Structure 1
C-alpha cells in the first residue's frame, strides 16, 4: 500500500520552516566546505597520529579550526542576510565569540553571522533616505564601526559564554550516549528526518560542529558518520534492483551509482516514501553501521560532503579504513535484507503498481492540471526561457535533475531554454518554472510566491518532468 507522506495545513508549514532553516544553515556551510576539507586533510596528515606526523605543520591545526573556519561561517552568514556590510558585521561579532571561548565556535558563528547581517540591514532600512547629501560614507563606515563594536562586546560577554555552556551540556549528553553504547539510537531520528529533507538541519546544525570539536581533541570523529553513511541507502536500492517492481526496479541501478559514488542521497528518498515501511530498514541499517563504527573505534577527519563512498575513504585517517569500510558494508547488508523482506511480504506489491507506475498512470489525469499550471495567468508556454531545478543545497539532486533535463532538451534540438540548479532560497527571480521534490514545495512557495512550481517525486523518471518536456515541445510546434 502506498501512503501519501505529504504534510498538510499547519504541519506542512512547520516542516517547510524547518527545511528553510536547514537550507539557510546549508547555504552558510557549503560555500566553505572546501576549507573544512582542507583542515581535515591537514589533520589527517600532520597530527601525532596522522600519516606524516609533523610538529612544524601540526601547529596550523588549532588556529585554523578556532579562527579561520568560524570566521568564514560568520562572514558567509552575514553576507547572505545583508551583503558585504552584513559580512563585516558578522565577522566582527564572531571575533568576540572566538576570543572569549575555549572551544571552536561553529554554532556561535552560525548564529552571530546572520545576526550581524540582520542588525545592519535593519539599521540601513531605518536611515534610508534620511542621510544628508555628502555624509553617506561617514555614516556607512561609522554605523558598522559602532554597531560592530557593540555586537563584538555583546558576543564576548553574553553570547559566547551562553553558547559554550549549551555546547558543553550537549557534548556531555552525547558523550554519555556514546559511553553507554546507545549512540545507534540516533538513527531513530536521523533516518526519518533525512527522507523528509531535514538532513541538513541535523548534519550542518548539530553533527558537523560537534564533529569538528571532537576531531580537534581526537583527530577524528564518529559524529561525521552517524547520519551520512551511504550504506543504508545502498542496501535499499540494491533490494529494489532485485525485488522491486517495474519502474522502481528499472531505475534503482542508476540511482545506486549516483547515490553511492556521487554522494547524492536524495536519490533514494522516493523509494522509501513509496513504501514507508522500508524506513525500518533504513533505521536498522543506520543503527548497525553506527554500532560497527563504535566497535572498531573509527571516525572521519571532516564532514563528507557529498556523502559519497569516495569522500568517506578520502577523509578516513590512518588505521581506520577497515572499520569505516566494515560500517558501510554492514549497514548495506542489514538494509538490503530488511528491505528485501518487506518487499517480498508486501502483498500490495502484487496488487498495485509502485509509485512510479502509479504516477505514470495518473499523468494523463494530471495533464490538464499540469498545462493549467504551466500556463497560469494566460502566459504562453513558448515564453519560458529559464527553468530552475532546486533542492536543499542546490548542489546534489538539483544538479543531477538539471543536467538530465538539459540533455532531454538537446535531443529535441531545443537550445533557447536555460536550465540550471540552485538552492531553494537562491532561485533567480526571473526563473519561469521551478522544479522541486514534492516535499520541498511548501518551502519553495514561502520563498517564491506566485512562481510556477513543478512538483516531482523521482529524479530519474518522473511523469511531471516528462509532462513539462512535452508541453515545451508542443509549444515549439505552434
Structure 2
C-alpha cells in the first residue's frame, strides 16, 4: 500500500459558524419542509390548470378538489414533514395535529403557519420525551406515549386556532400587501437584486420554497396564477450565463458548458451554473440584469404560473402554465436569457483575454498541514480528518436539499466508483448520517457539512461537471492513497 497523501479537499481556515452558513441552514430547513411534498404541489397545480373555470378542461365537480387541497392537504403535509424532521414519526403526527389548528384559525392557506407549528410542536414533544425517558414504568410506555402526544397536540391545535393562526394570517396579508405595492408601482423587478446573488450562495431553495412559494400559492388561489412563481425559478438568467461561458468564457471551461446547459434548462437543476458565477463574480450583474428583464417582461405581459415549477425545468414551466399563457411565459424566459447573455458576454469582454485573468481560488499546497479551527467550542484541531482510499466503502454526496444536484452527481459517481466496490448516497447537508466517513460537497456548503459531521473527511469541489476533485477522489480510492479532509 502506498503512503502517498492526496489532498483533494482544499483545506481552508474556517472561522467558526459564519452568517452565511447559518442562513443556509435556516433556508435548508424551510426548503426541507416543502421539497419532499413537491409532487403534491404539482398535482394541485395540474388540477387547477385543467379544471378551474379558466382552465383547459373546465369541470365544476373536479375543480372541487382545488380549494380543500390548498387549504388542508398541502399545509398538513408541510406540518407533518416539518415535525418529522425534528422528532421522527411522533414529531410528524403532532406536527400535523398542530397544523390543523392554524388551518382552522385562518382564512388563508397556512403554509407559513405550518412551517412554524409543525417543527415547534415536534420540538416541544421531543423535550417532553427526553424529560420522561427512563422514568416510565414497564408496561405503561404505549399509554404515556399516546396520551402525551394527544394531549400536547390537542393543546397546540387550540393555540393555533385562537393565537398562531390569526397572527400568521396577519403576517401573510402584510407580505401580500408588500408584493401588491411592488407590482402596482412596477418595482417587482428590483427583487432580482437580492434574489440572484442569494441564489449563487445556494439559497435558491430557501427563497423559492420558503418565501415566494407560500405567497404565490395564496395569490394563485385568488387569481388563478402568480408571478411570484417565476422570480427565482426562471431558467433564463442561468441559461444566458452558460451560453456566454460557452462562447466567450475561459477555453478550459467551454467544453463543460453545453452539458451544464442541458442539465440546467431541461433537467431543472439550477445549482449547475452557480459555480460559473462564483468563478467570475462580476457575472452576478448579468444574472441580476437577466432576472430583472424576466420579471419585468412577466409584469408587462401579465404572466404567471398556477403552481411552483419544481424542478425549474422548461418542462415543469410549461406544465404549470395557465391556459393562454404559454407565449408570455416563454417570452419572459427568452428575454431573461437574452439580457443575461448579452450582459455576461460584455463582462467576459467577448472572449478577449479570457484565459489571462481567470478568477479562480488560490490552490492549497497538497502537503499542507495547516491547523484548522474547531467548529464547536473553539478547541484547536491539529490535524484534519483522514481516510485511506482502500478503506472507503461509501461516499455521501450532500447538497442543500438533497434532491437536485446531489442526485445528479451521485448518479455520475456510482458509475465511476462501482468497480472499486464503493457505494454512493445522496442526502441533504443537514441529513448527513452520523456514521459517514467521506462526504463530497460543493465548497460553498463545506462549512455546513463539517458542522454536521466534524469527524468525517469532507471533500470539496467547485464544478458539478468535470471538477478535478472527482478524478483525484477516484485515483485515491483506486490506488489506496490517503484522503485528507
- Interval of TM-score (by shorter of Structure 1 and Structure 2): over 0.9
Indicate which of 160, 167, 181 corresponds to 1:162: 167
TM-superposed CA distance for 1:406, in Å, is 2.0
**2:255 matched to 1:240?**
no
Task: Give secondary structure in 2 for the equivalent of 1:435.
Answer: strand
Task: Give secondary structure in 2 for the equivalent of 1:349.
Answer: coil
| Superposition pairs of residues 207-226 of structure 1, within 5 angstroms | 207-226=212-231
CA displacement 1:202-232 (0-9 Å, x = unmatched): 1111100011101111111111001110001
CA displacement 1:288-308 (0-9 Å, x = unmatched): 001111111111111111101
TM-superposed CA distance for 1:377, in Å, is 5.6
Equivalent residues of 1:289, 1:327 under 8 A apart: yes
CA displacement 1:373-425 (0-9 Å, x = unmatched): 9x956643311111011101112111111122222224xx32x1011211111
Cα distance between partner residues in 1 of 2:318 and 2:357: 40
**2:387 matched to 1:382?**
no
The verdict on how the C-alpha distance between 1:443 and 1:403 changes in structure 2, with shifts beyond 3 A counting, is same
Aligned residue for 1:106?
111
The verdict on how the C-alpha distance between 1:379 and 1:263 changes in structure 2, with shifts beyond 3 A counting, is closer
Aligned residue for 1:251?
256
**2:374 matched to 1:366?**
no
Equivalent residues of 2:248, 2:354 under 8 A apart: no
Cα distance between partner residues in 2 of 1:173 and 1:346: 42
CA displacement 1:103-156 (0-9 Å, x = unmatched): 000000011001111011000000001112222122111111211121111111
Aligned residue for 2:15?
9
Structure 2 portions without partners, runs of 5+? 1-11, 373-380
TM-superposed CA distance for 1:315, in Å, is 0.9
Task: Give secondary structure in 2 for the equivalent of 1:236.
Answer: helix
Cα distance between partner residues in 2 of 1:353 and 1:78: 46
Equivalent residues of 1:85, 1:144 under 8 A apart: yes
Cα distance between partner residues in 2 of 1:190 and 1:145: 41
Indicate which of 295, 300, 309 corresponds to 1:295: 300
Task: Give secondary structure in 2 for the equivalent of 1:196.
Answer: helix
| Superposition pairs of residues 315-326 of structure 1, within 5 angstroms | 315-326=320-331
Task: Give secondary structure in 2 for the equivalent of 1:54.
Answer: coil
Aligned residue for 2:71?
66
Aligned residue for 1:120?
125
Equivalent residues of 2:385, 2:457 under 8 A apart: no
Aligned residue for 2:345?
340
Structure 1 portions without partners, runs of 5+? 1-5
Task: Give secondary structure in 1 for the equivalent of 2:78.
Answer: helix
Equivalent residues of 1:76, 1:113 under 8 A apart: yes
Higher helix share: 1
The verdict on how the C-alpha distance between 1:367 and 1:403 changes in structure 2, with shifts beyond 3 A counting, is farther
The verdict on how the C-alpha distance between 1:386 and 1:196 changes in structure 2, with shifts beyond 3 A counting, is same
The verdict on how the C-alpha distance between 1:456 and 1:350 changes in structure 2, with shifts beyond 3 A counting, is closer
Task: Give secondary structure in 2 for the equivalent of 1:398.
Answer: helix
Aligned residue for 1:3?
none
Q: Give the alignment's TM-score, normalised by structure 1.
A: 0.92
Aligned residue for 1:24?
29
TM-superposed CA distance for 1:352, in Å, is 3.2
Aligned residue for 2:377?
none
Number of positions where the alignment pairs a residue of Structure 1 with one of Structure 2: 461
Cα distance between partner residues in 2 of 1:461 and 1:354: 18
Aligned residue for 1:197?
202
TM-superposed CA distance for 1:350, in Å, is 4.4
Larger relative contact order, structure 1 or 2 (CA cutoff 8 Å, min sep 6)? 2
TM-superposed CA distance for 1:465, in Å, is 2.0
TM-superposed CA distance for 1:8, in Å, is 6.2
TM-superposed CA distance for 1:9, in Å, is 3.1
Aligned residue for 2:138?
133
Cα distance between partner residues in 1 of 2:367 and 2:224: 55
TM-superposed CA distance for 1:7, in Å, is 10
The verdict on how the C-alpha distance between 1:113 and 1:386 changes in structure 2, with shifts beyond 3 A counting, is same
Indicate which of 379, 392, 408 corresponds to 1:400: 408
Aligned residue for 1:439?
444
**2:55 matched to 1:50?**
yes
| Superposition pairs of residues 256-295 of structure 1, within 5 angstroms | 256-295=261-300
Cα distance between partner residues in 2 of 1:104 and 1:270: 36
Cα distance between partner residues in 1 of 2:358 and 2:79: 49
The verdict on how the C-alpha distance between 1:282 and 1:7 changes in structure 2, with shifts beyond 3 A counting, is farther
TM-superposed CA distance for 1:247, in Å, is 2.0
Indicate which of 85, 89, 97 corresponds to 1:84: 89
